[in-house]
Chain A
Amino acid sequence: MNSTQSLISELVSQHGKKRTSLLPILQGVVEQEKFLTEFSMIEIAKALDLPASDVYGTASFYSFLEHKKMGQFIIRVCKTITCDMKGKNQILLAIQDMLKINIGETTPDGKFSLLQTNCLGWCHKAPAMLINDEVFTEVTPEKVREIIGTYMKRND
């Protein structure tokens, strides 16, 4: 059994084999591996006795269940109206300039992916962004360079 398989069997024993467990299991895999591979979705389907297409259909519905290869740190910049009013585009430019990737891409070393997301509920502290599940608010191009700089140095 490889690590994905053992992760899935652990999640299945924790949440149970019911259909209602599908989302928590998908979320559990994404939490560990950052995205869902075809392999992991087929394994989940087998474990829950569901058609693989059904697992894919469910996973692909939700924007936080990535099913394309993602980097270790997924940067999600809020693109909703208040963040846009407060200079979200400058933040995106600063990140793109620093990491040399476009929206939807991953750095060649597999460390960062850059995405946009809809309202994160931080409109009073705009612009906001997420790196994995950590929230950053009132970011400026300077601040964002500093934040990403610290993530670059992380070795976990």
Chain B
Amino acid sequence: MADYKMHIMVCGGSGCRASESDKLTQNLDTALQKNGLEEDVQVVTTGCFGFCEKGPVVKILPDNTFYTQVTPEDAEKIVEEHIIKGRQIKHLLYEDPNAKELIPDSKHMDFYKKQVRLALRNCGFINPENIDEYIARDGYAAIGKCLSEMTPEAVIEEIKESGLRGRGGGGFPTGLKWDITRKSEADQKYVVCNADEGDPGAFMDRSILEGDPHTIIEAMAICGYCIGADKGLVYIRAEYPLAIERLKIALDQAREYGLLGEDILGTGFNFDIELKYGAGAFVCGEETALIHSMEGLRGEPTFKPPFPSVSGYNEKPTNVNNVETFANIPVIINKGAGFFSQIGTGSSKGTKVFALAGKINNVGLIEVPMGTTLREVIFDIGGGIKDGKKFKAVQTGGPSGGCLTEAHLDTPIDFDNLIKVGSMMGSGGMIVMDEDDCMVAVAKFYLEFTLDESCGKCSPCRVGNKRLYEILDKITQGKGTKEDLDKLRLLGNVVKDTSLCGLGQTSPNPILSTLDNFYDEYLAHVEDSKCVAGQCKALMQYKIIPDACSGCTLCFRNCPVGAISGERKSPHFIDQSICIKCGVCYEKCKFDAIEIV
């Protein structure tokens, strides 16, 4: 990137592409040509900047100016004002929602200030479709170092020392996993990258593959060198078309450069990667299920041991790691285990990528050191709750995790702390909820997900979750009893203790954690038939405020079931036994005389 004086980095992540960022890129190129600047200024399509809420995002180097919500029509102005005259375009700058001031560059944004980007180090900085840009940022230096200066044992030792633990949810020490696979003797071994992301709320693996595919290729090759495998497989969701396309481009480029294939870098080491596509089964994120799916079988988990490290794909030793885990490997090799292990907490080293979604101002991808508190993530980086509403809960860990409350906001996030407070890290999805979200309904939501995705192999998960769902449904219908709450807890614990795989063992967590943290809300549903958040339809009542009602008869005439009665010019009345809660009266009333209670 040396020949150009300035670079305009345009986010080409899926989020920004959905808001016409490719058209913006074209317009920028045209505007540069029009002004004869195409030799001096380069437009680069990068991977995700993470700030998806305000996309499309444009960053200008070297001054780091950060423009948000840029439309294709802004292209000309950016070139004429910023590039030529050196004036920042005020209305495109990001406004700090708390301080209400414009932020001139990305280094001063709260969103980036507290972040440490290791796994996402290249996302937003390089063009993911160009291997040279990856190489310019130390890309493929780690594999070079491993092959030329380090023995496989030394590399594994480095990974072990770094303290890296699996980022897919399990948190198993990565170095140890590699070591076990290395020590398993066989004529053929495999490296598998698990890109079957499917947790509700998680999209970090997709963003890494879209923004920095080469890092995964490099890390998988390093793993192959360490465990003695010459074949890698990426199991990726077929619903991630852009990630697949960029991965394919990256694989071709790596082969062309001799960084994949036979005799890599002239060292005699052979390694190549093949893509395998998922077909819509969440349970395939579990490593044994994933392996069965790659073998052409139903994606059902099997009992461990034997662990895949001993007997996996085609019954050969197989090392399965998640995308984000792999993305950390080159950093550890290049900068050393010491650099990595100084970040984080006692038992959880390094950083973690989180996907922020739900009722939060800055949705998108962030990466913070382990040990950062939930408060910092949600309020400082995430910019707080949307529309000035009150924070109620944050769900971490997807269907395996739990809902944490205000009381947990100062908990430093790491693998063990989250488990201690009844949730888990999972793959890093964080869904933020406000006062309008009913926690019983949230628990029911996750259970519905588990019901859909349970493979049905073991009965605690297949039958137990179904029964749990039915009880929750009964509660949200206003037909639950206090005994049902005890039943939920008892049955939840049985499912947890007796299911075969991680999916079933963790599926009751959303219920158990909401029972622990929001018991009052459950009680209100069963004892007072009340949903405080006003989300459970069956428990809502539309009522006419007599003082506000003018007796215009509009609601009476519009009610589809004839539940409303009353004389003209005198207050009307809704018969709750007939009302179907369609909300038509509420919408039609011109005097705000109908309330939801």
Binding site for B on A (CB under 8 A): 18-24, 26-27, 57-58, 61-65, 80-82, 84-85, 117-126, 130, 133-138
Contacts and interface: CB of A to CB of B under 8 A. Distances in A.
B205 to A, nearest CB: 8
21 contacts: A26-B279, A61-B300, A64-B239, A64-B280, A81-B431, A81-B442, A82-B358, A82-B431, A85-B359, A117-B280, A118-B198, A118-B449, A122-B14, A122-B203, A123-B201, A123-B355, A123-B357, A124-B52, A124-B203, A135-B14, A135-B239
- Which of B52, B357, B358: most chain A Cβ within 10 A? B357
Interface in B429-465: 429, 431, 437, 442, 445-446, 449, 452-453, 455
Contact of A133 (B18, B241, B282, B355): B241
B201 A81 contact: yes
A63 B238 CA distance: 12
A121 B279 contact: no
Interface of B: 14-15, 18, 52-53, 197-203, 206, 237-241, 276-282, 293-300, 314, 355-359, 363-365, 395, 429, 431, 437, 442, 445-446, 449, 452-453, 455
Contact of B281 (A27, A62, A133, A135): A62
Contacts of B429: 123
Contacts of B363: 123-124
B239 A130 contact: yes
Nearest to B296: A22
Contacts of B455: 61
A135 B358 CA distance: 20
Please give me the 9 A-B residue pairs with the lowest Cβ-Cβ distance, nearest first. Answer: A64-B280, A22-B296, A62-B279, A63-B280, A123-B357, A61-B298, A124-B363, A80-B200, A121-B203
Contacts of A126: 357
A20 B295 contact: yes
Contacts of A80: 200-201, 445, 449
Say what secondary structure dominates the interface of chain A.
mixed
B219 to A, nearest CB: 21
Contact of A124 (B198, B280, B281, B355): B355
Contacts of B277: 23-24, 27
A124 B296 contact: no
A124 B356 contact: yes
B235 to A, nearest CB: 10
B281 A20 contact: no
A137 B15 contact: yes
A124 B279 contact: no
Given A62-B280, A84-B445, A123-B431, 13 more contacts: A27-B238, A61-B299, A63-B279, A64-B279, A80-B200, A118-B200, A119-B202, A121-B197, A121-B203, A123-B200, A124-B15, A135-B239, A137-B18
Nearest to B433: A85
B139 to A, nearest CB: 25
B437 A85 contact: yes
Contacts of A120: 239
